[in-house]
Structure 1
Amino acid sequence: MPTRSVRDNANTPASITTPVKSDTGNLPAGYQRLHSQFRWQVPEVFNIAQVCSQRWAEAPDTAQRVAIRCYADGALQSAHSYAELQEQANRLSNLLVALGVRRGDRVAIVMPQRFETAVAYMAVLQMGAVAMPLSMLFGPEALGYRLQNSEAVLALADQTALPSLQLLRADCPQLQTVIGVGRRENTRSVDEVNYAEALARSSARYLPVATTADDPAILIYTSGTTGNPKGALLAHRALIGNLSGFVSSQNWFGFDGRANADSRAVFWSPADWAWTGGLMDALLPTLYFGCTIVAQAERFDPQGALQLLGRCGVTHTFLFPTAIKAMMKACPGTARKTVQQQYGLKLQALMSAGEAMGDAVFGYCEQQLGVTPNEMFGQTEINYIVGNCALHWPPRPGSMGMGYPGHRVAVIDEDGVECPTGVAGDVALNRFDVHGDPDPIFFLGYWKNEAATQDKFTGNWCRTGDLAVRDAEGYLWYQGRSDDIFKSAGYRIGPGEIENCLVKHPAVANAAVVPKPDAGRGSLVKAYVVLAPDALAACGNSTRARTALQAQLTQELQAHVKGMLAPYEYPKEIEFVDALPMTTTGKVQRRVLRLQEEARARGEPDA
């Protein structure tokens, strides 16, 4: 079978083989062939900005293609071509050079989904500097730690983030300049630059730095759920490593056997461009393929998201399970019309990641959104390594999928030995693919933390810290984070299956399961439950009605889980809460709840 390149371009970094569907059996015959014929193509000289912007802007037939469509309040605010993206990036690069930014310097980008954010990434990357995404949700302490640790020399920030940054100036001596993006007025502060005026004065011509594929490009800090966050340093080649997974999870992203992807694909995700999911799984790969990405900086709203998907004709998306759960509760569909029909959805692919989806959410996507979801798994350090592709191998509800082409994935034990089928172990990625070639997805290391980098590896295996079981056909089944698994009365408990079961109840919007210390059993299964809007509305403002409902639901939910799972898995205690602690990337922080239970057991008051 011939191998087709991702792009008919001199900088094509990877090859994609179109698999053949199996005539018999559950696994497609083309899956193993896809892996065996896939070869990484990593050029020595490679720059993310060049392949995501410059090459499209310089080609006459693609220069005016829309790169970014910006929406606010449900309406189109502006549309920007690849030519405009590159011109603005050139102007910003020249401005940053004038302000003293040099190759290898860290530049903080504190902006939401907007055109200027994409410009900032392209400008910094084509300079050979290192882009450091920072979430708009970060408070002064979170911002301060990352700015200090990275020794960032300049920050490009949305005007709403400026007050927090100004508070940190005294504690961040390396931070020489803060540029407020979107500010209309001039400032007299020597530390600030009027973005619009400065760009207008800068030249629209810039000669990009010739970076190697191994040069550092992006510094992203992990969520820090166990101590201070660690900065994962990614090379330019990390984008190359993402592509086989991105194309697969997006059902080939418009590929139809030709060398080029369909440029009419439209992508949108609520994932913040300051995180791996938004930057590496959405913005950069969409631009790499010369397609259009929708930008919307507003807070996620399930009905608003569905309206946006329909109004913009979005064909490909990445949605967290938490977001889909919110859609499922707010917009369940009717007997006459599915959600797809109500909102005019045109989805061709939906990727989901961050947590296990579960069959309830999986079924909603198929029956109401009209698309079979492709679950994906990866980490900041080694992103987009496992997942599904509904177009070429059948996803199974609740399964993480299988290793994407080019990635040698295994479930290993403490000694780095691959676990037998059906035995839980640590999901790990080998530094080398099945051909013995280096996998380009690997991060360069943790910033200024060589010990943590070494601890991440067992030989050539990079451990994720996530547990899974591999079945006889090669599918991985997520068991939870290694520190989320607990024992109750001698039974090993994984929270994901119980949470999925709870969410199937119509009164439950979301749930988290953690151990509650118990002298007799070691720990009890405890569930934190967020009620669905309809259940809350039925109570009105009556505290008595809500208390009665919670008492009734406690019994219902316990019986619900008992009837669907093993008897030892039902939650012995249920606590109803208004919201679960979440990371800024939409993951439930079970650790916060677990520590809360441990503190309560010691008699300490809630924080």
Structure 2
Amino acid sequence: MTDYEATWRGFRWNRPEFFNFAADVTDRWARERPEALALQWSDEGGAERSFTWSEVRRRSLHAARFLTELGLRKGERVFVMMPRVPEWWFLVLGCIRAGIVFMPGTPMLTPKDVRYRLEAAGAHGVIADASCLDRFEGLAGTGAVRHWVSVGPAPSPWVAYTSAAAPEDASGESFERTRADDPMLLYFTSGTTGMPKRVQHTQASYGLGHEVTGRYWLDLTPEDRHLTLSDTGWAKCAWGKLFGPWSQGACNVVFDFRGRFEPERFLRMLERQRVTTFCAPPTAWRALVQKDLSAYDLSALRHVASAGEPLNPEVIDTWKQATGLTIREGYGQTESVVVVGMFSCLEPRAGSMGKPTPGFVVSVIDDAGREVPSGQEGDIAVRVKPERPVGLFDGYLEDDAANEAAFRGDWYVTGDRAVKDADGYFWFVGRRDDVVKTSGYRVGPFEVESALLEHAAVVESAVVGVPDERLGQRLKAYVVLAPGFTGSEALASELQEHVKRTTAPYKYPREIEFVTELPKTVSGKIRRNELRALALGRPPAKD
């Protein structure tokens, strides 16, 4: 995209009657570029596996046949828990091809989390890597599950699957066509404020909708080698490790690591694999910029992006000084594709979310569903009438109350607050539930956290509101310190004065607590509801 305004005005969604990402997209690349790389996998031990488009087609056809011969039918739901191994992509494409609804889950889930998902979604099957089988102990007979598939050897009732068994000749394979509005995918929200909701996407809403994610925000072409840092259980994986890059024919570079994120090792991998486009969540970006970036050859990189939560401007500036590249932010949810982004043709404004994605009308509205003037805070909303955009979810499964709360007049309301400036750029304020009212002022935690991050002592922080008789609420900051710094009253006072100098004085945290880490969801988002509970001396709410 070279002209944002012209592209946004002229964009029209393709609305086919039938659509299937495996048959209509990946198979097309297999016909047009059969020997081009589609998947480049490596792990911490140095092992590598490469797959061309023709191989991806062959192995996903085999996966679809395996699942249907097992007895799984179109429209049935399968829970999938696997690390970043190639078989995840083959089995997920197999599900899509056969019309089986897949439900991704991160390997970090506990048996309690798994049971909740199997029962809440009425799962008919489970697909798990052999390394994850302990999460399913005692769950045989749960709900409607009748098929248990293991990637690797496993005892009964598990049935072993191996992609290596795919026949060389996959011609003649066919499956019932899926309609564009058939269910394809069921995600569980990350649960930052309560139990996860079930988000249902159709074959088109993610499979076709993420074309704008790959083309406009990730800025991909068939010649790119793209890496998104994400666990397979997160919606970010669908954005940047499946639908986004493969919609554009780009090679999907996957680094399979099982432990904690190690910035040095990851930077070496970017260097070795000659990654050209890269996307990571803010937690990873904050860790990466702590390193000496001049020690790595990142010259192959041409485009970098961030999503998941707002990225502090200080991190963007540090990366830009070291590499010459601007980290382009993108905003969306489990419920959508990217709906606001700092696209490559836009003038970058550090701290801004960017502008609405082509195909979406996005605005800031008040409680009555009216658009507010520029510069006024309100709810981020996506227009759904008179025409619903393709890249928006089908709805919360069997949850009338959640569906009713999510729509206001002609708008889908995201639950996030922002300000839109006179030039049409959006500026994030915070989750609706996270905005703090103190001394009569409304304060978004992100602005205070960004101010704290400007101080050399701070690696990460989270700000919440705590009841206060005089102020209504006072701001409390939980701070993770950089190596070489020790928490003390003197340092807390220094940080408070720093915030007063950096932003409006009323926004400084009246209370600072130093911690070794922040509580986060499995997708890496800060659980501020848990921090609020801790601040009040209550047991933290858990999913």
Q: Residue 111 of structure 1 is aligned with which of 73, 82, 105?
A: 82
Q: Residue 120 of structure 1 is aligned with which of 63, 68, 91?
A: 91
Are 1:215 and 2:191 matched, yes or no? no
Are 1:481 and 2:407 matched, yes or no? no
Runs of 5+ consecutive residues of structure 1 not aligned to the other structure: 1-17, 20-29, 254-260, 334-338, 536-545
| Residue identity matched to 1:385 | V
Q: Output aligned runs, 1:16-165, within 5 Å.
A: 18-19=1-2, 30-59=3-32, 62-73=33-44, 75-165=46-136
| Residue identity matched to 2:297 | Y
Q: Give deviations 1:71-106, integer Å, cap 9, x for gaps.
A: 112624211112221211111211111211000011
Q: Output aligned runs, 1:379-458, within 5 Å.
A: 379-390=333-344, 392-432=345-385, 437-458=387-408
Cα distance, 1:605 vs. partner? Answer: 10
Are 1:589 and 2:542 matched, yes or no? no
Q: Distance in 2 between matches of 1:565 and 1:83?
A: 55
Q: Distance in 1 between matches of 2:483 and 2:23?
A: 47
| Residue identity matched to 2:377 | A
Cα distance, 1:473 vs. partner? Answer: 0.6
Q: Residue 343 of structure 1 is aligned with which of 290, 297, 316?
A: 297
| Residue identity matched to 1:247 | R
State the SS of the aligned residue for 2:186.
strand
| Residue identity matched to 1:556 | E
Q: Distance in 1 between matches of 2:81 and 2:468?
A: 44
Kindly report the root-mean-square deviation, in angstroms, between the aligned alpha carbons of the 2 structures.
Answer: 2.1
Cα distance, 1:53 vs. partner? Answer: 2.1
Residue in 1 that maps onto 2:270: 309
User: Contact (CA 8 Å) 2:74, 2:99: kept in 1 or not?
Assistant: yes
- TM-score normalised by length of structure 1: 0.85
Seen in structure 2, the aligned counterparts of structure 1 residues 359 and 227 have a Cα distance that, compared at 3 Å, is closer
Seen in structure 2, the aligned counterparts of structure 1 residues 469 and 343 have a Cα distance that, compared at 3 Å, is same
Residue in 2 that maps onto 1:360: 314
Residue in 2 that maps onto 1:11: none
User: Contact (CA 8 Å) 1:503, 1:511: kept in 2 or not?
Assistant: yes
User: Contact (CA 8 Å) 1:246, 1:384: kept in 2 or not?
Assistant: no
Cα distance, 1:204 vs. partner? Answer: 4.1
Seen in structure 2, the aligned counterparts of structure 1 residues 534 and 308 have a Cα distance that, compared at 3 Å, is farther
Specify the structure having the higher radius of gyration (Cα): 1
User: Contact (CA 8 Å) 2:62, 2:163: kept in 1 or not?
Assistant: no
Q: Distance in 2 between matches of 1:175 and 1:381?
A: 26
Moved more, 436-445 or 34-43: 436-445
Are 1:229 and 2:192 matched, yes or no? no
Q: Residue 511 of structure 1 is aligned with which of 461, 485, 497?
A: 461
State the SS of the aligned residue for 1:240.
coil
Cα distance, 1:578 vs. partner? Answer: 0.8
Moved more, 453-462 or 467-476: 453-462
Moved more, 479-488 or 448-457: 448-457
Q: Distance in 1 between matches of 2:139 and 2:130?
A: 15
Are 1:265 and 2:224 matched, yes or no? yes
Q: Distance in 2 between matches of 1:311 and 1:288?
A: 25
Are 1:599 and 2:542 matched, yes or no? no
State the SS of the aligned residue for 2:149.
strand
Q: Distance in 2 between matches of 1:385 and 1:605?
A: 32
Residue in 2 that maps onto 1:242: 210
Q: Residue 152 of structure 2 is aligned with which of 177, 182, 197?
A: 182
Cα distance, 1:344 vs. partner? Answer: 3.1
Residue in 1 that maps onto 2:409: 459
State the SS of the aligned residue for 1:237.
coil
Runs of 5+ consecutive residues of structure 2 not aligned to the other structure: none
User: Contact (CA 8 Å) 1:388, 1:402: kept in 2 or not?
Assistant: yes
Q: Distance in 2 between matches of 1:156 and 1:273?
A: 13
| Residue identity matched to 2:247 | Y
Q: Distance in 2 between matches of 1:43 and 1:177?
A: 33
Q: Distance in 1 between matches of 2:8 and 2:255?
A: 36
User: Contact (CA 8 Å) 1:68, 1:79: kept in 2 or not?
Assistant: yes
Q: Give deviations 1:297-320, integer Å, cap 9, x for gaps.
A: 214211122111111111111111
Q: Residue 579 of structure 1 is aligned with which of 517, 522, 532?
A: 517
State the SS of the aligned residue for 2:433.
coil
State the SS of the aligned residue for 2:347.
coil
State the SS of the aligned residue for 1:479.
strand
| Residue identity matched to 1:431 | V
User: Contact (CA 8 Å) 2:477, 2:511: kept in 1 or not?
Assistant: yes
Are 1:369 and 2:330 matched, yes or no? no
Residue in 2 that maps onto 1:564: 502
User: Contact (CA 8 Å) 1:74, 1:308: kept in 2 or not?
Assistant: no
Q: Give deviations 1:107-159, integer Å, cap 9, x for gaps.
A: 11101222101001110000011111111111011111111111111111111
Are 1:294 and 2:253 matched, yes or no? yes
Cα distance, 1:225 vs. partner? Answer: 2.6
Seen in structure 2, the aligned counterparts of structure 1 residues 202 and 347 have a Cα distance that, compared at 3 Å, is closer
Q: Give deviations 1:333-363, integer Å, cap 9, x for gaps.
A: 3xxxxx2563334211111112211210110
Seen in structure 2, the aligned counterparts of structure 1 residues 164 and 246 have a Cα distance that, compared at 3 Å, is same
Q: Distance in 2 between matches of 1:144 and 1:204?
A: 36
Cα distance, 1:228 vs. partner? Answer: 2.1
Q: Give deviations 1:517-539, integer Å, cap 9, x for gaps.
A: 2222222211101111343xxxx
Q: Distance in 2 between matches of 1:304 and 1:77?
A: 15
| Residue identity matched to 2:274 | G
- Equivalenced residues, count: 538
